[in-house]
Structure 1
């Protein structure tokens, strides 16, 4: 509002005093236009004034400086200042793919014109003057900490550990992140190599000085986080290791383009079959020859088209970092479901692979906590999954787990599935009340989560080994529960048994399971490193 009022005041002032100089009025009216000095003077503050002085010409001299505020306004808006809350800088390059989006290079400055779409901002380039939509996650506010490659804004302690331990990072990889518990405070997370436990992550609290500075250890303080990072990049000085390089993070996935929900089949190119299930196949493919996606094609007759569209419209509103993002659908038979692509595929298959079968127990528990986090979101939104198992959890190349196929199970019309004794019904993952009475709830999902935990800790083993489906039903009626799997921590087995309480109301919430598993994971990695 302040920027708007200032601009209106400038227009009035110029109009009143500068009849011979209509170009000046036009200049203020077009204060978002990138005049030449925007691209030439932004690096040299001393040059900015010279260029602006030249731009307004004789008017400045003839006015005797009485209208200096006009010069200040032009100086600020056209030299890259002004309404700084709307100025951003590109932290990644972006190649446009549509008629209405705007391409830019890393480091370019842009002005945000509106944020009507939370994922695609309307912006204007201060380099080219062109306007168009830009992905929200490719830019950061100008002069903010987010411009630094080592700063990660909204990142939890556990997510920091996942990123730092991911491939591409090594000893000395680091990040500074906002504190989860104390607003305005920060933490430093550093990857280290422990001779006993191998790769690990150490965390350091960055404390604030009353005078505005920062310190990790009291013997030395810094005026800024940048100075702190620069110092510890030169020497460890009390840290586990010298800061070597910022945590590597790949270019984020750009948002799905606006209004592309029901898409033509011709826009998809199938490239590689990833797997086949009871109700169709999953393919890796391209959308419009540029966007990597996963494509699930359902066998004809699997579900009613009307029911599917109604459910899909609900599903696309469920958006969370631990849920596979539903992008679009093809609404002619056979139905296609287009989602984000996850490089490592289904969790059950990944755990059996050469890479997955060597994952340590703390990483397995972290995977379980990620699934619990996603299910806590589903729980919070009063939704039900109905088919929670490792086959419906997908894994990225950074070992991020996301829940897939939530809500689809209830739409299936195949008799072999809808009949609970049918060969396709997932008996071994299903709660007793759902088997016996068809009663599905978030609490039956909790039961399934307990079964999924056994899949994770056994690297993809089928539950109830050696038992047929009828034997499982009979044994459950007698109160049987799977014994503790080999190498399963006692604490994790206790969590499984909580999920398998006979009475649904006695089973824990997913929010509780999330918190317990996150604490379980954190305990295996140690707490903050205390500095003298």
Structure 2
């Protein structure tokens, strides 16, 4: 089990804070190794550490509270020696307490490198850099430095600008000197990137804004151990009810008192425990940055399913809040593009969602959107035929699914179009004034289902989907429209 990585996901996994350096073996036996974690479902297991290398020291980028006795608790800024690297958990020794244990590799960075700087985002893409800086928590002058996507070994400075025309993101090329050093404008050079940041933090000196603060980003999620798939109910604490859905209630809670999670419970009589576990097993195989991540399940009734927690709840409710109702059209289009990216991955995995709507999209603290609720999804070869009496949201359902009960990935494209209506109207009900009867069914369609038409060759035809784009094409169009045509995200200003 684990995460299935798309091509983009594999690229983004290389965004680690630094390239690993192998180290010497420890002087005493380490604690038991944590099991493999949920990151790459198809890739081979990472190789073990090669001994007899130079000593390797890191600094903690975030606080980390141990989940079990194998872990090493650390505080932000604490220095550690890495004793062994295996996958996403590294065996470390604290230089303060002398204790040993495992720490998440994405919570530390090599000392005396750019990785320890809050403003350095090594391999983040231009698009994701703009998304992060556009988060409400980042104000005018917020910035980051990243590796250039086009020039290997070069860097770019990305800055958030706020004018009377709205928020804009500006990009500046950081050029290198042959003899060492960097500059944006040739009239002033700097020996290091740190010196460059210090200078432009004191005055704008030609930039759109004086650099005020590094781009604020949340701490990464802890890797989740493979042996913690079926967990005891006692390890979960339900804190706050978030809402109710088709399968039951959804709660914000904690796993082992320190990992914040969302907990979905099964409503009695909604579906069999086997069907609920089938949903969980499907979510477990579909792992992508635009899909809500499944952590664990409680298999004894009442069944719990544990997923990552999304602070701002579902997109439908968020769009109706004061903050959501003030989102600009470019931000709304970006949210649409993020959802399309997730659906393109689902298409790539030969799957369908069947219930794509704003209520099943969750929003993070930084306004990133992820697709949730795969209760109606099915792994398919090409299409899925609903059972007699099956219910589904009629206003989001494609015509061929209403009339023939047949779902393909192109049915999700139709639902995505209706979802766009929800987004640009800030959560209004689609097709206002139209009732379910006017759409040809009220969910129970048994006797009203028609036969699919046949073409001259005798094969069934579908007049609705023949000219409908595939999800991957929709994702490319959504992303291209937002990042290339919106006036608030103009091409970089480079000196």
TM-score (norm 1): 0.73
In structure 2, the CA distance between the partners of 1:285 and 1:526, relative to structure 1 (3 Å rule), is closer
Identify the residue that residue 207 of structure 1 maps to in structure 2.
Answer: 175
SS in 2 for 1:271: strand
Q: Which has the larger radius of gyration?
A: 1
Q: 1:508 aligns with which of 469, 474, 478?
A: 469
Higher mean C-alpha deviation, range 239-248 or range 180-189: 180-189
In structure 2, the CA distance between the partners of 1:530 and 1:357, relative to structure 1 (3 Å rule), is closer
SS in 1 for 2:350: coil
TM-score (norm 2): 0.79
In structure 2, the CA distance between the partners of 1:295 and 1:158, relative to structure 1 (3 Å rule), is same
Identify the residue that residue 61 of structure 2 maps to in structure 1.
Answer: 91
Q: 1:105 aligns with which of 51, 75, 87?
A: 75
Greater relative CO (CA pairs within 8 A, separation 6+): 2
In structure 2, the CA distance between the partners of 1:222 and 1:335, relative to structure 1 (3 Å rule), is same
SS in 1 for 2:254: strand
- Equivalent positions of 1:209-358 (< 5 A) are 209-358=177-326
Identify the residue that residue 406 of structure 2 maps to in structure 1.
Answer: 439
Give the Cα separation in 1 of the matches to 2:429 and 2:343: 22
TM-aligned CA deviation for residue 435 of structure 1:
2.2
In structure 2, the CA distance between the partners of 1:447 and 1:245, relative to structure 1 (3 Å rule), is same
1:359 aligns with 2:327: yes
TM-aligned CA deviation for residue 383 of structure 1:
2.4
Q: 2:156 aligns with which of 146, 162, 187?
A: 187
TM-aligned CA deviation for residue 279 of structure 1:
3.0
Give the Cα separation in 1 of the matches to 2:75 and 2:356: 42
Give the Cα separation in 2 of the matches to 1:213 and 1:406: 51
Give the Cα separation in 2 of the matches to 1:310 and 1:115: 34
1:132 aligns with 2:112: no
On the 8 A contact 1:316/1:326 being kept in 2, the answer is yes
On the 8 A contact 2:93/2:101 being kept in 1, the answer is yes
Consecutive unaligned residues in structure 1, runs of 5 or more = 8-27, 34-80, 412-416, 475-500
SS in 1 for 2:407: coil
Consecutive unaligned residues in structure 2, runs of 5 or more = 1-20, 31-51, 380-384, 442-461
1:122 aligns with 2:91: yes
Give the Cα separation in 2 of the matches to 1:211 and 1:447: 57
Higher mean C-alpha deviation, range 178-187 or range 389-398: 178-187
Give the Cα separation in 1 of the matches to 2:182 and 2:265: 54
On the 8 A contact 2:170/2:493 being kept in 1, the answer is no
Taking only aligned residues, the RMSD between alpha carbons, in angstroms, comes to 2.9
Q: Size of the alignment, in residue pairs?
A: 427
Give the Cα separation in 1 of the matches to 2:440 and 2:85: 54
More helix by share: 1
SS in 1 for 2:158: strand
1:149 aligns with 2:118: yes
1:173 aligns with 2:173: no
Give the Cα separation in 2 of the matches to 1:112 and 1:378: 38
